[in-house]
Amino acid sequence: MASSKTAAKTSKPTQKKTPPTQLAVAFSGGLDSTVLLHATIKAHGKKNVHAFHVHHGIQKEADQWQAHCKAVAKKFGCHFDTKNVKLNKQSNIESQARNLRYEALTQMCEAHKIQDLLLAHHLDDQAETVLIQLMRGAGLPGLSAMPQVKSNELIHLWRPFLNMCRKDLESYAEEHKLTWIEDPSNQDESYRRNAVRKSILPTLEKFQKGAIENLARSAKHLGEAQGLLNQLADIDLGLIETKEGLSKTNLIRLYKTSQARATNALRRWLSKNGLAYPSEERLTAWWSELTQARLDAKLQWDHDQRVIRLWRGHLSITQDLNAQAKSKGKEKEKVTNEGEWTFKKVPANSKKPGIAKDRFEKAKQKGLINTMAREGGEKFKVDSKRPRKSLKNLYQEAAIPPWQRDVPLLYIGEELVAVAGIGISADWQTTDGPRFTLEWQAA
C-alpha cells in the first residue's frame, strides 16, 4: 500500500502551465484600431498584446502618426513594432496600400512568432465592401465580403468588431477617454470607398432604415453560400486533381456536363494555390483555349505573378521566374530556378550511388565545385553501360517539364557532374565506401 507521502507525490500535477496566447493588433492610430487595442489589452493583459503599425508614407503626417502609435502603445503598456512600406504612386494606391499592409503585418507576426492578428473592421466597413463589390459586378466570393475569421499558412486573421457599428466604437472611445488620429484622406471622395462611406450609404440609410446592417447581413448569407460552393468544388476536384495537377480530360468532361461547376472547381483550385480569382473575360478565354486544345497541346497563362501551364494533359501552377527577376531588377539576366545544391552522406548500408567522400573533399579543398547555367548542347552520361546523351533527351526521357529544366548544372572543374532530376555522372559515381549524394533543393 502506498504511503501518504508517496500518494502526495504521485497526485501532484505534472502538466506544465500553458503560456498565455500572444495577440497582435493592426494599429493605424485611428478610432477603430485604438478601440480594438484598448479592448484587447483590457481582455488579455498588456504583456500579451502587440501593436503593429504600418507606415505607408502616403500622407505628409505619416511620421507623426507612427510616433503617435508608438506613444499610445507605450501609454497602454503593450509591445509595439512598426514597418515602413513604399508605394508606387503610379498604380492603384488603395489596392497597393492594402496588399503591402497585409504583407508587412504578416512579416511582423512572423518576426514576433505570433499566429493571431486582430483587425478593427466593423459592420459599416462590411456594408461598404459589399456595395463596392456589387458595383464591380463581383461574384459570390467578392460579395461575401470580409470573413470574421480567415486563416492562411502563417497566421489567423480575426475581425472581432464585424457585428458592431462605428457608433458603438465611438461610444466606447468616449467612455474610456481615448484619443486617436484622423486621416485627412478619409474625407477625399475621389477615393471610391470614401465616396461610398460619406455619400452613398447615408443616402441608402435615409431611404431604407437599417440598410447598412442589412447589407452586412447579406454578406454573411452570401458567405455561407460560397462555403457550400467550396464544398462542391472540393468534391469535384477529388475526381479531377492528381499529383501532376488538374487532369484536362476530366476537367473538360465536367465542363461539358456543367460549365458552372467546372468554373467553380477551377476557381477553387486557383484559390487553394494562393492565386486570385481571374476575371470573367479571362476565364472565358481560358475555357476557349482548353476546349480546343489537343490532349498533347501545350498552353501557358500568366496570372497573379504565377504561370499556369498545360503540359502532358495536366494543368499545373509554377512561379513566374521572369516576374520575380523583374521585381529584383534582374530582368536582363538569364532566368533560372532558385535553390541550391545540397550534399548528403549516403548511409553505410545503402546501395545508392554517390561521389566518393575523399574525391569530393579534395575537389572542395581546391575550390573546384561550382554551378553554371545551362547553355544548350551539353551531353551527359548517367549510366556507364549507356552512351552519352544530350540533356534535352535525358529530360524528355525523365518526363521533366521544360520549366523545371533551367536549374544550374553542377560542375567539378570542367566536368559536368550532376544534373537535377537526372542524377550523377557515371564517371563520378560509386556505390562503395563513404560517399555523398547530390540533390537540388528548390527555394
416 is in an annotated binding site: no
How many other CB atoms are found less than 10 A from the CB of residue 415?
12
Strand partners, 441: 340
Residue for grid cell 460552393? 229
Question: Do the annotations mark residue 185 as ligand-binding?
Answer: no
Strands 156-158 and 116-118: parallel
- What angle is formed at CA 390 by the lines to CA 385 and CA 393, rounded to 5 degrees? 90
Burial class of 120 by CB neighbour count within 10 A (0 to 12, 13 to 18, 19+): buried
Rounded CA-CA distance 248/254 in Å is 10
Please answer whether residues 321 and 396 qualify as being in contact, where contact means their C-beta atoms are separated by less than 8 angstroms.
no
Q: Does 316 appear as a known binding residue?
A: no
In contact, 391 and 416? CB cutoff 8 Å: no
For 73-110, letters b (16+ CB in 10 Å) and e give beebebbbbbbebeeeeeeeeeebbeebbbebbbbbbe
Binding site annotation covers 29?
yes
Residue 144 marked in a binding site: no
> How does DSSP classify residue 430?
B
Per-residue cell: 302: 500568366
Q: Is 33 annotated as a binding residue?
A: yes
Separation of alpha carbons 430 and 432, rounded Å: 6
Residue identified by cell 545508392 is 352
Return d(Cα 1, Cα 406) in angstroms, integer.
Answer: 73
Burial 284-294 (b: 16+ CB within 10 A, else e): eebbeebeeee
- Binding region: 28-33
- Binding region for ATP: 28-33
